[in-house]
Chain A
Amino acid sequence: MKLIFEKSVPGRGMSLLPPCDVDLVAMPAGLERETMPQLPEMSETDISRHYTELNQHVHGVNCGFYPLGSCTMKYNPRIDEEMAALPGFTQIHPLAPADATEGCREVLDTAKRYLCEVSGMDDMTFQPAAGAHGEFTGVLLIKQYHDARGDKKRTKIIVPDSAHGTNPATAAMCGFEVVNIASAPNGCVDLEALKAALGDDTAGLMLTNPNTVGIFDENILEITRLVHEAGGLCYYDGANLNAVMGVVRPGDMGFDCIHMNLHKTFATPHGGGGPGAGAVGCKAFLAEYLPKSALMDGPGRLQVRGFAGNFLVVVKALTYIMTLGREGIPEAARNAVLNANYLMRKIQGTFEPAFDRICMHEFVLDLSGFKKETGVSALDVAKSLIDYGMHPPTMYFPLIVHEALMLEPTETESRETLDWAAEVFRQLYELAHKDPEFMHNAPHNAQIGRPDEVRAARNPVLRWQKS
């Protein structure tokens, strides 16, 4: 498909703006640009078709099954969009007078109260734009806490080897040394390895529970106790909160601060690069270090983003919480867990789970034996799924499982969809034994086959330029 710039025809256009009815004012000399911007020139019809065509190239939750592990691609209820589109929310500026923004402030306060209740935290900021930004903010709270106490020797953050790559990256970005600890054979934190890593140089531990292999770490109270005993703080990565929201609270597990991906767990559309919201919550003793908006809350404190962050994402999350209510939130979590276990057991017998036990909201298949047998890799299976109209699961993650496929069906899929997905996996398992070559070349029916991902990553072309 052609880029919109390549479809441009000089002189073609349409009238978006009414004729100017005030006197024109010339730009001050020296500020006018020397060349015209290279904007595409198109008719409204062609623009409409261009974006419709783009839409047809995309696979979203509204198109089909999307079991992308740890990304929680649940259905986003339309009512969330309707609320976020209310003019009272969209036609307001954060610098409007206080009496004009009372409603918006009430949304923020109510969302904070509910999300603190869900997470077991005492205070919260909505500034961070998404998960990794939230991690960065949360770990800075830990840093600030130690610095404020003059405890300068705490230079290390402990991260298990099953963690999301953003965890060690965050710790490093915050100036900490990352200590990677190996997981126990059951995929959980190895208590002995943790004890060996802890010391008076420990600033904190970053953990997600349930962890990245979809298992709830039953030693969590012991883990957070050990870290606190060593003088460190515990950071909860909310990536997998969907499995436990309303059922068990990170604050009660012993965590001191947390980020929640409102765009994942609380159902606002994501996956296209934003906007998201990485709300950061903390216990009361860390609240004084939370970022504030210099313009909304008064000067003095640092901010990690302007004003209240991506406000409309918070509106959607609040709508979601209020729609589901106190009963609905834990029910969604339980259904997410049920769906994952159902799908895992349905697929088992062909592709095998890496950890054969009850999982939480997601599970990991280990295709290393299958690959040795057939030569077909996890990548080949993922690409083959595209031909069935299914978004591939997360591949090759977590790193502790070889040839990993990580599936998270979420609570919003029906039993029929899960049965169909399991049937697709069974067919691919058989196909791999009969015609592996066919799978090496998949997908066969997609708009794009296998893009050169290495070249795209190493030599990205991010900007169209007139040839």
Chain B
Amino acid sequence: MNFPAELKYSKSHEWVKMDGDVAVIGISDFAQDALGDVVFINLPGEGDSVTAGEAFGDVESVKAVSDIISPVTGVICAVNEDLADAPENLNSDPYGAWIIKVENITGQEDLLDAAAYEALCAEEG
């Protein structure tokens, strides 16, 4: 399982990459593996506000529908619309398949570094 060192992770298995003032958000390799084959993603809209700790969308896999929790508070400035047609990219390339980009960030959850997140996954796995 892959835990890129340059990313931060939430306990609910989203990853965050800070790109200047913009947070790029996706779901982790562990998350996609636990979900199984993803068949649908419910995406938010550009300009929507997100709140740290609250759902901004959901993914449906062959197993279940799960909320995607925002690790930060801010405003969505970009949505990866390609995922709507190819949600399986979340499985094949979880760190390439970003879901949203957030700007005007005013708050965030306690995020884990790669080592701490890997330990959490080992515990849950």
| Chain A residues engaging chain B, CB cutoff 8 angstroms | 377-379, 395-397, 399, 402-403, 453-454, 458
Contact = CB atoms under 8 A, between A and B. Distances in A.
Contacts of A379: 37, 62
A395 B62 contact: yes
B36 A403 contact: yes
Contact of B40 (A396, A402, A403, A454): A454
9 contacts: A377-B37, A379-B37, A379-B62, A396-B62, A396-B64, A399-B63, A402-B33, A402-B34, A454-B39
Given A402-B33, A454-B39, A454-B40, 8 more contacts: A395-B62, A396-B36, A396-B61, A396-B64, A399-B63, A402-B34, A403-B36, A453-B39
A378 B40 CA distance: 18
Given A379-B37, A402-B34, A454-B39, A396 B63 contact: yes
A212 to B, nearest CB: 14
A378 B37 CA distance: 10
Contacts of A377: 36-37, 62
Nearest to A182: B124
B60 interface: yes
Contacts of B36: 377, 396, 402-403
Contacts of A453: 39
Contacts of A397: 63
Interface residues of B, number: 11
A378 B62 CA distance: 10
A392 to B, nearest CB: 12
Contacts of A378: 62
Contacts of B39: 453-454
The 5 A-B pairs of least Cβ separation, nearest first, read A396-B63, A454-B40, A454-B39, A396-B62, A379-B62
Interface string B33-54: 1101101100000000000000
A182 B54 CA distance: 23
A69 to B, nearest CB: 14
Contact of B64 (A399, A454, A458): A399
A432 to B, nearest CB: 15
A14 B31 CA distance: 59
A395 B33 CA distance: 16
A377 B39 CA distance: 13
Interface in B58-90: 60-64
A248 B63 CA distance: 32
A307 B63 CA distance: 38
A435 B62 CA distance: 22
Contacts of A454: 39-40, 60
A395 B61 CA distance: 12
Contacts of B63: 396-397, 399
Contacts of B61: 396
A396 B63 CA distance: 5
A458 B37 contact: no
A454 B41 CA distance: 10
Contacts of B64: 396, 399
Nearest to A382: B62
A458 B40 contact: yes
Contacts of B33: 402
A320 B37 CA distance: 42
A403 B33 CA distance: 10
Nearest to A377: B37
A290 B9 CA distance: 49
Interface centre among B33, B37, B61, B64 (most CB of A within 10 A): B37
A196 to B, nearest CB: 16
Nearest to A452: B39
A440 to B, nearest CB: 11
Interface string B10-43: 0000000000000000000000011011011000
A403 B62 CA distance: 9
A98 B16 CA distance: 70
Nearest to B39: A454
Nearest to B34: A402
Nearest to A372: B33
A453 B37 CA distance: 13
A83 to B, nearest CB: 41
Contacts of B60: 454
A342 B60 CA distance: 35
Contacts of A395: 62
A399 B40 CA distance: 18
A399 B124 CA distance: 13
B65 to A, nearest CB: 9
Nearest to B61: A396
A326 to B, nearest CB: 41
